[in-house]
Chains A and B, each alone.
Chain A
């Protein structure tokens, strides 16, 4: 069984359809068992900073990548990103925005906050699956993290 320590990908996504599609795409790369899903920004911060319902977690068990939606309930994606990138304990963790927003402003703001990559969710089903599978391989296998 996968424990919280083995989590390699944190998916922050409130849309159940997108969650299912993302997990299916990652399954193809055998990465799905290492994914943990949270459904809003507050839960994401609790997971990342090991607080609230995740107080038993260790903050040092960092995922290899955080896939972060922009529009989220409670705390939005930009604020989650800001908190991750302004804290010495978490700023090294790669964060990839995975969003339907193509707005230049969102792209610029997130890069200026230190996002590692910005991916626009393809609308087409098969393109979406392909994109998630490629990004799973990139951040799960090719990219190196210092932990």
Chain B
């Protein structure tokens, strides 16, 4: 039975424009992906550590209000309930320090948001197909 509360993707994104664009791109894929959105790091952790079914993948922005993305990732990886959920860092930061830090903390993948609308759209579609169709999550 499908849990009505279950989602495929938890999108952690504070920029409403990026969140909307991401959702539109996801709709376009025909995967019928169920998406929950957290607007800041605190909301993301609250969602992940609640009794709700876990998402199959988390798309995590780095610069977030309240608790930043790196800290969300750190806490996820030190908690048995969230340790193995795939996390894709989806950010505009290309800084090597951020990339290294995220992998060190156990990010599964690091994708730089393309600035251009069309490319962003396409990248989100590829991300969804990869993590929802191709990849097997540990759930």
Residue numbers of A with Cβ under 8 A of B are 91-92, 94, 102, 104, 107-108, 111-112, 114, 116-120, 131, 134-135, 137-138, 142-146
Residues of B75-101 contacting chain A, CB below 8 A: 83-84, 86, 94, 96, 99-100
User: Smallest CB-CB separation from A92: which chain B residue?
Assistant: B103
Q: How many B residues touch A, CB cutoff 8 Å? A: 25
A135-B86 Cα distance, complex, nearest whole Å: 16
Per DSSP, chain B at the interface is mixed
A116–B108 CB distance below 8 A: yes
User: Smallest CB-CB separation from A145: which chain B residue?
Assistant: B99
Residue numbers of B with Cβ under 8 A of A are 83-84, 86, 94, 96, 99-100, 103-104, 106, 108-112, 123, 126-127, 129-130, 134-138
Known: A119-B136, A138-B126, A142-B127. A112 touches B110 (CB 8 A): no
Known: A111-B138, A134-B134. A117 touches B84 (CB 8 A): no
Chain A min CB distance to B122 (Å): 10
A67-B126 Cα distance, complex, nearest whole Å: 19
A91–B103 CB distance below 8 A: yes
A116–B138 CB distance below 8 A: no
A144–B136 CB distance below 8 A: no
Counting chain A CB atoms within 10 Å of each CB, which of B99, B111, B134, B137 scores highest? B134
List residues of chain A with CB within 8 A of the CB of B104.
Answer: 91-92
List residues of chain A with CB within 8 A of the CB of B83.
Answer: 112
A134-B134 Cα distance, complex, nearest whole Å: 8
Known: A112-B84, A114-B106, A138-B130. A143 touches B111 (CB 8 A): yes
